Amino acid sequence: MARRIGSILHGACGDYYWQATSLKLLAERNPGTKLCLFAAAPDRLTEFQKLDFSFAECFLPWEKLPATPVDEFLQYQVFDSELKQDVLDHLPSDLLAKIDRTRNRIFWDDLKGLLPLNSSQRLQLSAAGCQAVRLAMEQYGIPEDLFRTRKTVAFVWRFRNRGGAINPIGQPSPEALVEKYSRVFRRLIDEFDCHVLITGMNPVLDETNRHGLDPKYARFGLDLPAERCTYLKGMGRNWVADLEILSRCTAAAVMASGISEALDTHRGGGAILLDPPLHYVLMLLKYRVALYNYMTPRGFWRTWSRPHSENRLYRWIAEDLRRAEK
> Which residues does residue 232 pair with via DSSP β-bridges, in sequence order?
199
User: Which residues, 6+ apart, have CB-to-CB distance to 28 below 8 Å?
Assistant: 55, 121
Tens digits of pLDDT across the chain (326 residues): 478 999 999 999 999 999 999 999 999 999 989 999 999 999 999 999 999 999 999 999 999 999 999 999 999 999 999 999 999 999 999 999 999 999 999 999 999 989 999 999 999 999 999 999 999 999 999 999 999 999 999 999 999 888 778 888 888 999 999 999 999 999 999 999 999 999 999 887 666 555 557 778 998 999 999 999 999 987 668 999 999 999 999 999 999 999 999 999 999 999 999 999 999 999 999 999 999 998 889 889 998 888 899 999 999 999 999 998 76
CATH architecture of residue range(s) 4-111: 3-Layer(aba) Sandwich (3.40)
Cα distance between residue 10 and residue 44, in whole Å? 8
The whole-angstrom separation of Cα 231 and Cα 159 is 16
- Neighbouring CB atoms inside 10 A of 144's CB total 10
Task: Write down the pTM of the prediction.
Answer: 0.94
Cis preceding-peptide flag for 307 (omega within 30 of 0):
yes
Q: Does domain 142-323 have CATH number 1.10.10?
A: no
